[in-house]
Structure 1
Amino acid sequence: MGERGFEEIYEEYKQQGMSQAKAEMAEEIPSEAEKIVAVRRNAEDDLIAFKTESGRELDYITALEEAKAGNLRNIDVIHRYGRDIIRSEPDGLKENNLSELPSF
């Protein structure tokens, strides 16, 4: 294996990925799409509403429609469990994941 261990090599790989993701995010063309800055959860810990950087509060269905229209930044819509689901764009940045955002 040499002087470097598996853990060290993997950590270096993750750091490079995070650096690259941040660089790519900085290069993105500015758009009118809003960023989600906070979330609301129900008693089962499901996301039920979203707050945007402009202060708009969106219920799940409205946010889903906005995401499909490309009006929400860093959000993907996937089809699972027989329905469309909102999720964070897998960009390698933990801090912008929906699960990491504060509650409102």
Structure 2
Amino acid sequence: MAKKPIAVRRGDEGDTTGVKFRGDQRVTPLKTAVKMAERGDIPGYHAVHGKSKDYIRANPDGTKRNNIDDLPDA
């Protein structure tokens, strides 16, 4: 089922630790959201495997309003 991120939970250093999706009551852990993005369950987003951790990122589309870092706090 396709999901749309609407908010994020951030850790003490401001890093994203979880993602809240439209229609969900709970915040999904980032590790789970990365797996969802890899499967294509989050249209418009993809998984990034960084040196220190994995995360999700919006596909380039010329707008900032759907960027994970620009979503409101969950």
Tell me, yes or no, if the aligned pair for 1:36 and 1:73 is still in contact at 8 Å: no
Gaps of 5+ in 1: 1-31
Higher RCO (CA 8 Å, separation ≥ 6 residues): 2
Q: Per-residue deviation at 1:76?
A: 1.2
In the other structure, the counterpart of 1:37 is: 6
Q: Per-residue deviation at 1:85?
A: 2.7
List, as ranges, runs of 4+ consecutive aligned residues in structure 1 with deviation greater than 2 Å: 82-85
Q: Per-residue deviation at 1:89?
A: 1.5
Tell me, yes or no, if the aligned pair for 2:30 and 2:55 is still in contact at 8 Å: no
Q: Partner letter of residue 66 of structure 1?
A: M
Give the TM-score normalised by structure 2. Answer: 0.84
| 1:49 equivalenced with 2:18 (yes/no) | yes
Q: Per-residue deviation at 1:44?
A: 0.5
Structure number with larger C-alpha Rg: 1
Report the structure, 1 or 2, having the larger helix content: 1
Give the TM-score normalised by structure 1. Answer: 0.63
Deviates more, 1:48-57 or 1:38-47: 48-57
Percent identity, aligned pairs only, is 36
In the other structure, the counterpart of 1:86 is: 56
Gaps of 5+ in 2: none
- Report the count of equivalent residues: 73
